[in-house]
A = this chain, B = another copy of it.
């Protein structure tokens, strides 16, 4: 498969490298082709890896990841171009973090709206699936690093797109029963609003190498 990965930060690099390792072709996109980090990543990642503009990466990918910073995501996707993304699955990994007030960041959209919904509204013909935004990027692509049955969430309005993302998460190492479908893209409010707790857990743990697991009743027949 061909994937576009928008964003050259640690999240984009982690996703892009994992996709290449799985045998896919990946083009990393940034605001302008020739971005220093993207060029370095592509040179390091081998012949299946390339780089270009947001539009280049969106055009290249059969599936596209949004790994840009939340504050720049809508602009980046508009720069990528609705025509280049039309009907494609866009896996939105970004979070609407606002660092302007210092640490820990707050959210620049929450509660009655979400970044996932904003992206879906900005690009109504794109099949947005929010996924993996509730964890560190190391955990996203190597879930086996965490001990125990921990959980990933997906949401979006297109059922077939969510089924396809579930398969891809399986390639990353996520058993299907640990990928929880929360419903439509509106549920992105839930996963994005987890970030304030995640940030405090990171501070308490002194590491981002953790995840949450969904644990259910010891005896489902009881009560």
Enumerate chain B residues within 8 angstroms of A182, measured Cβ to Cβ: 197, 200-201, 203-204
Interface residue? A110 (CB, 8 A): yes
Known pairs A197-B191, A204-B180, A218-B145; A213 contacts B212 (CB<8 A): yes
Shortest Cβ distance from A209 into B: residue: B217
Main secondary structure of the interface of A (DSSP, over half): mixed
Interface residue? A189 (CB, 8 A): yes
Copies per complex of this chain:
2
Docked-complex contact A193 and B191, CB < 8 angstroms: no
Enumerate chain B residues within 8 angstroms of A62, measured Cβ to Cβ: none
Docked-complex contact A147 and B210, CB < 8 angstroms: no
Interface residue? A183 (CB, 8 A): yes
Docked-complex contact B214 and A212, CB < 8 angstroms: yes
Known pairs A110-B110, A183-B200, A197-B191; A216 contacts B209 (CB<8 A): yes
- 14 A/B residue pairs, CB under 8 Å, sorted by A: A101-B112, A107-B111, A145-B217, A146-B215, A149-B215, A151-B212, A180-B201, A180-B204, A182-B201, A182-B204, A187-B200, A190-B201, A211-B215, A213-B213
